[in-house]
Chain A
Amino acid sequence: EVQLVESGGGLVQPGGSLRLSCAASGFSFSSHWMTWVRQAPGKGLQWVANINEDGTHKNYVDSVKGRFTISRDNARNSLYLQINSLRAEDTAVYYCARHLIGHLTFDIWGQGTMVTVSS
């Protein structure tokens, strides 16, 4: 079964850091771009960052540039998001998702991990 499982979320104080992980299974992880999308409580979806198949190319939405770092370990079939200097507005469910090959969209999503930034 094709599956993505996120972990690492939690409650963190403003200015703090977290490392989110996404474990992939059931498909050739190293053949796909991967992405992180977040959803603030009661709000819509926002693309956050993505990374190409071998980790050499990364893109970020402006609001997280310099604070978030996306990475991957193809040997471990894992995707990561290091989030630093957290702000209240970063509070959201963070989903990892697989890019659909040949299309600028995402065909498989994890269940999400909640990040809450609060003092």
Chain B
Amino acid sequence: QSVLTQPPSVSGAPGQRVTISCTGSSSNIGAGYDVHWYQQLPGTAPKLLIYGNNNRPSGVPDRFSGSKSGTSASLAITGLQAEDEADYYCQSYDSSLSDWVFGGGTKLTVL
């Protein structure tokens, strides 16, 4: 059981917009800790996609955006492309566990 909860899967057609939710609690996201997002393409290492809730590292397309509110966060992907098909993970810090914590991951399928 992951500390952060994500839907197991989402899907969308090319060009569409999809969102992936990440729900935490008062000891992590709700405590004010930032949410970060990773993209993991099949057979590869995770790649930082969004940091500090809504910041994109250099090279990440602006089709990817993040937001945070209360004890939850979301990753939005617009103009869906076939190459976006991957697993996406949210991550934060939990003060009760004193651990860096991840969501269980969401598999994005581009139809």
Contacts and interface: CB of A to CB of B under 8 A. Distances in A.
Interface residues of A, number: 22
Contacts of A35: 100
A44 B100 contact: no
A47 B92 contact: no
Nearest to B101: A47
B33 interface: yes
A20 B4 CA distance: 28
A61 B33 CA distance: 18
Interface in A38-70: 44-47, 50, 59, 61-62
Interface residues of B, number: 26
B45 interface: yes
A105 B46 contact: no
Main secondary structure of the interface of A (DSSP, over half): strand
Interface stretch (A10-18, A74-82, A109-117): A109-117
Interface of B: 2, 33-34, 36, 38, 44-48, 51-52, 57, 89, 91-93, 97-105
11 contacts: A44-B89, A44-B102, A46-B102, A50-B100, A104-B33, A104-B36, A104-B100, A105-B34, A107-B51, A109-B46, A111-B44
Interface of A: 35, 37, 44-47, 50, 59, 61-62, 95, 100, 103-112
